[in-house]
Chains A and B, each alone.
Chain A
Amino acid sequence: MHKVWLIAQREYLERVRTRAFLISTILIPVMMGAFVFGSFYLDKKSATTPQHVALVSADAPFALDLQQMLDADREAHILSDVISPPGPDTRPTLEHMLDDHGLDGYLWIDRLPSGELQFVYTPATSSPTVNGPVLAVLSTNVRTLLLRRGLIARGLGEGDVDGLTQPVRIDHGHHRPRSSLGAAFALFFLMYMVVVLYGMNVARSIIEEKTSRVFEVLLSTIRPEEMMAGKILGVGSVGLTQVGIWMLAVAALAATPFAHAAASGDMALTIGPAQVVFFVLYFIFGFLLYSSMAAALGAMTNSEQELQQLNMFLVMPLGFCMLMIPVVMNAPNSFWSRVVSLIPFCSPLLMNFRVSLSMPQPWEIGLSFVLMAVTILIVIWLASRIYRVGVLMYGKRPTVHEIMRWVKYS
């Protein structure tokens, strides 16, 4: 055990002393901050860009009233033009404008022979995130307009109608969850980066010893399993140190007046103590899982280039987690969110993401740790067997068949 400690200590000190550690400690939060806030900023900016919509109707007063209402609605962000009445070449002209991006969509209003009104909206894009809000605004305003007309037709005064159809504002500033979406994203990408970074560091460190042949001396003093354990501990501690530095930096920033300004609005980075604790716990488990996979990959390969080719085994599950972000974000407690966040390879990212969004049930968190622990034991067992044989193999890369034999070999 003393020797495991020595290996870990060497690994730790040699890494913490490097310039790369210093640079990544500073650059990762900067990059991530730029990434998260940049995407939020762009998102907000594009959301406030008005949508240009044509309102086409044979009923000119109706179309004009609708236009007036859209202009009055400050949340609508819709710039509208009225075409009334439509001619035979109106539709081709509008279609042409859609293709040229001169127009974001047009609403065609027809009165059917039955007397019923028909509304058809043709958007320029198929993106639901663009069309959804436009459709919502349009249908709300059309309904209000119809309601107003109906009420006036039934003899109510304009003032009463205005009062009855006043839009309702629902304030949604007070989140029940203990952190904002910004913080959840920040923690998600931070986790992704540190797990990938330090997982790869374990693999790289093994390859370094393989190419420099140092491990052969070490193997005469220590078992391969202990060597692997020492490496994972050492590199993992470097990761924890780095995360620790970031946490302290955040805490220090939080004490400044600047933080107060940042901690308001949608982009607020409010992180509660629970988030920090779970982040550290999920980092430890996630790191153990991915670094033991990386250790096996490192033991199988002879160079960084070869490692790059096998990289996908590490990155694929993490990429899957990325794809699952919308699923979890839209409904953190849905069945599928629960399922994907319990997959051991995804828990460090997705369960932790759910912790930030809305705290999952305690049994879910408990189960995720149990599943991860079991998976880690299995992966470490497999990895140490591959490692034990693999570190002594130089030259060609093993085939899957050979790796299977290494696992069985004792």
Chain B
Amino acid sequence: MSIVALHHVRKVYDTKVAVDDMSFTIGPGMMFGLLGPNGSGKTSTIRMMIGITVPDSGTVELFGAPFDRRALSRVGYLPEERGLYKKMKVVDQLVFLGQMHGLDAATASRRAHAWCERLQILESVQKRTEDLSKGMQQKIQFISTLLHEPELIIMDEPFSGLDPVNASLLQDTLEELRNQGRSILFSTHRMDQVERMCDQICLIHNSKLVLSGSMRDIKSRYPVNRVQVVFQGDDAFLAHAAVASVKRHNEHAEIVLRPSADNAGDAQQLLAFALAHGTRILRFELTEPTLEEIFIETVGTDHADFDTQSRMHRVVDGAAHA
């Protein structure tokens, strides 16, 4: 059974096509990443999954049945635009939102306290929300999404605006929830996060799905032809015949190898060449392309207008297209 299934979903706002022919499924216990640059249609897709908007055509299924608002009690949703009632006390706020998701007040309060303890904000539960820092408010909203123990957790850009400590705290929490069998969908424009966390991904660009599947499948479609090198001394090896392009940051080089039947063999030769020229190799790693590289390769460099937070991997000479 699929937890979420979209079939040829399309949504048009006035004249702008927000989502076009979108199809994917999320299985139980999956961590699913919805990826794409800003404005590519991630939020529009998510809003249709939780009935805030209705698709113009195509269908949305939740828990194996056509969309029904009653199923939403099994879903936890964290919108991209964070918001809480500023004047309300944290605990009142959480209890209210828990009740809106069908909990009784006592249960909501008990779980709210347990979560606040777990996320280290228990001392703030009696404070007014506006008196808290932005990061704390984010945690509270995160908790409000999980109070009713949803089977499906949908989070729109959950890590944006968080400091690294809190971001990893929330990542760990999400992975724990996934290990308990919950299905999790989150959107992000930061591909580096997804590499580590997601079982499945869906890449969207200009309202269209460009790539989807399990991380392992997608990566296995691409040759293992990237070499990460950290070195000292002579850099003559960067001009070796096996090298298609190089991106260099001081002593760190990211090499793309020329297409070949035996990338591993080419890499060995490259390493031998470097050692022969007296280069000190501190790190030499043969990898598959990163998701960002795959994305850029799929949609073309011109359209990769990521946020500044994102690490841009531009491939010199455009050789990646070769």
Residues of A within 8 A of B (CB): 3, 6-7, 10, 14, 18, 208-209, 212-223, 392
Instruction: Assess whether A392 is in contact with B75, with CB atoms less than 8 Å apart.
Output: no
A394 — nearest CB in chain B belongs to which residue?
A: B81
Q: How far is the CB of A304 from chain B (nearest CB, A)?
A: 14
Instruction: Assess whether A209 is in contact with B100, with CB atoms less than 8 Å apart.
Output: no
User: Which residues of chain B come closer than 8 Å to A220, judged between CB atoms?
Assistant: 50-52, 72, 75, 77, 79
User: Which residues of chain B come closer than 8 Å to A3, judged between CB atoms?
Assistant: 100
Instruction: Assess whether A217 is in contact with B97, with CB atoms less than 8 Å apart.
Output: yes
User: Which residues of chain A come closer than 8 Å to B100, judged between CB atoms?
Assistant: 3, 6-7, 218, 221-222
User: Which residues of chain B come closer than 8 Å to A217, judged between CB atoms?
Assistant: 77-79, 83, 97, 141, 144-145
Q: Does B96 contact A (CB under 8 A)?
A: yes
Instruction: Assess whether A221 is in contact with B85, with CB atoms less than 8 Å apart.
Output: no
Q: Could you list some 11 contacts between A and B, CB below 8 A?
A: A214-B85, A216-B79, A216-B81, A217-B77, A217-B144, A219-B52, A220-B52, A220-B79, A221-B72, A221-B73, A221-B100
- Which B189-228 residues have a C-beta within 8 angstroms of A? none
User: Which residues of chain B come closer than 8 Å to A208, judged between CB atoms?
Assistant: 85-86
Please tell me which one of the listed residues A14, A209, A218 contacts residue B87 in the complex, with CB atoms under 8 A apart.
A14
Rounded to whole angstroms, the CA-CA distance of A277 and B159 in the bound complex is: 55
B100 — nearest CB in chain A belongs to which residue?
A: A221
Instruction: Assess whether B101 is in contact with A216, with CB atoms less than 8 Å apart.
Output: no
Instruction: Assess whether A6 is in contact with B99, with CB atoms less than 8 Å apart.
Output: yes
Instruction: Assess whether A213 is in contact with B101, with CB atoms less than 8 Å apart.
Output: no
B83 — nearest CB in chain A belongs to which residue?
A: A213
Q: Contacts A6-B100, A218-B100, A223-B69 hold; do A212 and B52 have CB atoms under 8 A apart?
A: no
Rounded to whole angstroms, the CA-CA distance of A63 and B161 in the bound complex is: 92
Q: Contacts A6-B99, A217-B97 hold; do A14 and B85 have CB atoms under 8 A apart?
A: yes
Rounded to whole angstroms, the CA-CA distance of A221 and B77 in the bound complex is: 9
Rounded to whole angstroms, the CA-CA distance of A221 and B87 in the bound complex is: 22
Q: Does B57 contact A (CB under 8 A)?
A: no
- Which B42-71 residues have a C-beta within 8 angstroms of A? 47, 50-53, 69
Rounded to whole angstroms, the CA-CA distance of A380 and B282 in the bound complex is: 71
Instruction: Assess whether A6 is in contact with B77, with CB atoms less than 8 Å apart.
Output: no
Rounded to whole angstroms, the CA-CA distance of A350 and B29 in the bound complex is: 63
Q: Does B118 contact A (CB under 8 A)?
A: no
Instruction: Assess whether B88 is in contact with A14, with CB atoms less than 8 Å apart.
Output: yes
Q: Does B82 contact A (CB under 8 A)?
A: yes
Q: Contacts A217-B97, A219-B52 hold; do A209 and B83 have CB atoms under 8 A apart?
A: yes
User: Which residues of chain A come closer than 8 Å to B79, judged between CB atoms?
Assistant: 213, 216-217, 220
Q: How far is the CB of A235 from chain B (nearest CB, A)?
A: 15
Of A6, A14, A219, A222, chain B has the most CB atoms within 10 Å of the CB of A219
A391 — nearest CB in chain B belongs to which residue?
A: B52
Rounded to whole angstroms, the CA-CA distance of A212 and B85 in the bound complex is: 7
Please tell me which one of the listed residues A209, A213, A216 contacts residue B52 in the complex, with CB atoms under 8 A apart.
A216
Q: How far is the CB of B109 from chain A (nearest CB, A)?
A: 15
B54 — nearest CB in chain A belongs to which residue?
A: A410
B46 — nearest CB in chain A belongs to which residue?
A: A220
Q: How far is the CB of A15 from chain B (nearest CB, A)?
A: 10
Instruction: Assess whether B84 is in contact with A212, with CB atoms less than 8 Å apart.
Output: yes
User: Which residues of chain B come closer than 8 Å to A18, judged between CB atoms?
Assistant: 87
A393 — nearest CB in chain B belongs to which residue?
A: B13
User: Which residues of chain B come closer than 8 Å to A6, judged between CB atoms?
Assistant: 96, 99-100
B87 — nearest CB in chain A belongs to which residue?
A: A14
9 closest cross-chain pairs (CB), A and B: A213-B83, A213-B81, A216-B79, A212-B83, A214-B83, A220-B77, A220-B50, A221-B100, A219-B52
User: Which residues of chain B come closer than 8 Å to A218, judged between CB atoms?
Assistant: 100
User: Which residues of chain B come closer than 8 Å to A7, judged between CB atoms?
Assistant: 100
Given A212-B85, A214-B84, list of 16 further CB < 8 A pairs? A6-B96, A208-B85, A209-B85, A212-B86, A214-B85, A216-B52, A216-B81, A216-B83, A217-B79, A217-B83, A220-B52, A220-B77, A221-B72, A222-B100, A223-B69, A392-B47
Rounded to whole angstroms, the CA-CA distance of A222 and B99 in the bound complex is: 12
User: Which residues of chain A come closer than 8 Å to B84, judged between CB atoms?
Assistant: 212, 214
- Which B108-166 residues have a C-beta within 8 angstroms of A? 141, 144-145
User: Which residues of chain B come closer than 8 Å to A392, judged between CB atoms?
Assistant: 47, 52-53
Rounded to whole angstroms, the CA-CA distance of A3 and B98 in the bound complex is: 11
Rounded to whole angstroms, the CA-CA distance of A10 and B93 in the bound complex is: 9
User: Which residues of chain A come closer than 8 Å to B83, judged between CB atoms?
Assistant: 209, 212-217
Rounded to whole angstroms, the CA-CA distance of A212 and B129 in the bound complex is: 12
Rounded to whole angstroms, the CA-CA distance of A216 and B157 in the bound complex is: 14
Rounded to whole angstroms, the CA-CA distance of A392 and B82 in the bound complex is: 13
Instruction: Assess whether A221 is in contact with B101, with CB atoms less than 8 Å apart.
Output: yes
User: Which residues of chain B come closer than 8 Å to A222, judged between CB atoms?
Assistant: 100
User: Which residues of chain A come closer than 8 Å to B75, judged between CB atoms?
Assistant: 220
